[in-house]
Amino acid sequence: MLSKRQEQILKAIIDEYIKTASPIGSKRIQEIIEIEVSPATIRNESAFLEEQGFIEKAHTSSGRVPSTKGYRYYVDNLMEVNNYDNIKTKIEKIFSKRDLSIDEILDKTSNLISEMTKLATIVVTSNEIDEVKLSKVELIQLTNTKAAVLFVLSNGHIQNKTISLDQVALNDLTISIDLFNERLINSKISEIETKSQVIIPILKKQVKKCEFILQTLVGALIHTESNKSKTSGVKYLLENPEFNDPKKIKSIIEFIETASPFAWFNSQSKKSSKTSVAIGFETGIENDDFAVVKTDFTTELGNKAALALVGPKRIEYDKVSDLLDWIRKKIESKFLGEE
């Protein structure tokens, strides 16, 4: 654990970086920190935080920016509840309309959140497929640069996923699928995400990018025809300065299209909550530039569902987490009669 002063300096850096997206220097820290501390002390404590991996030196200035480790510490230990009151007022009006279904409410709510927060929203609802099992996985090379993975299910459905061979070696993909067939055949789809974790140590010894391959396969499998997914607000997300680079734009769009919110989370957060946070590489994708905040809920038909927000790592974690938790409670109250 960090000392109280170190925590306050880290919190000041993260809070300011979330607002400005600019590296934070010692002078600015002294201006905004809530305690009296000398510039020399700030420099020393900042050097310690950098040495411990909580912040990083910006390439283009003398300021510091938060690291994934710093954001994780902030979320687990320093984050305060900080409401999006204006957004909540607008969402309240959507929920007050009695003729809207849960899908219509989520659709309108997602568009509103994206517009007002500059984050992409993803809503996934899943029909119950507890008895459907994985029967077989097949790999078909389509071209020199593309391959298709076919998931044959016990109910006769076939789910396919096209994978770029520029990202993953064909041999590594073959080894991974052979392991899927060896260890996961006849497993229920609802159990695949959990069971797949046990093959990670084996994959790491045999293939590169093992976590990326595993998350891609599991995400595609979970995202079967029984799941319905809708993404909103990518155009607003791309207004963030972090995504001015065309490569980063391509990366985040691929991230949103490839994975399912059901597969993004294991046990990153220490807090017991239906609202979870995954930062950078914690998502299981080999990209450290963005973060996801997600809440799980149940629909009026008893089906599993998730609402996720995707954005740069400087997401206002406190406000976003509180907002999603509030929306989950609104859904449970309106459609399930829970208080």
**pLDDT (tens digit per residue) in 19-64:** 888 899 888 998 988 888 888 999 999 999 999 999 998 765 678 8
CA angle 250, 251, 255 (to 5 degrees): 115
pLDDT attached to residue 302: 67
Which architecture does CATH list for 134-222?
2-Layer Sandwich (3.30)
Residues above pLDDT 70, as percent of the chain: 87
CA distances from 20 to 16, 17, 97, 235 (A): 6, 5, 37, 20
Is 196 within 8 Å of 184 (Cβ atoms)?
yes
User: What local confidence, expressed as pLDDT, does residue 69 receive?
Assistant: 93
292-310, pLDDT tens digit by residue? 999 988 876 666 788 999 9
Answer whether residue 128 shows pLDDT above 80.
Answer: no
Question: What average pLDDT score do residues 265-280 get?
Answer: 63
The whole-angstrom separation of Cα 178 and Cα 183 is 9
Using the predicted structure, report yes or no on whether residue 249 has a pLDDT greater than 90: no
User: Domain spans of the chain?
Assistant: 4-78, 85-128+226-335, 134-222
pTM: 0.66
Among the four given CATH numbers 3.30.450.40, 3.40.50.720, 1.10.40.50, 1.10.3720.10, the one describing domain 85-128+226-335: 3.30.450.40
So what CATH class is 4-78?
A: mainly alpha
Burial zone of 215 (CB within 10 Å; 0-12 exposed, 13-18 middle, 19+ buried): buried
Quote the pLDDT of residue 193: 82
312, 279, 307, 282: which is closest to 295 by C-alpha? 307
Task: Kindly indicate the confidence band of residue 266, based on its pLDDT and cuts at 50, 70 and 90.
Answer: very low
Lowest mean pLDDT among 85-99, 128-142, 185-199: 128-142
Report, in angstroms and rounded to the nearest whole number, the Rg of the chain calculated over CA atoms.
22
Q: How confident is the model at residue 264 (pLDDT cuts 50, 70, 90)?
A: low
Query: CB–CB of 21/318 below 8 Å?
Result: no
Q: Per-residue pLDDT for 269 more than 50?
A: no
Average pLDDT of the segment spanning 257-279: 61
Highest mean pLDDT, choosing among 212-216, 225-229, 281-285: 212-216
Looking at residue 272, what is its pLDDT? Answer: 45
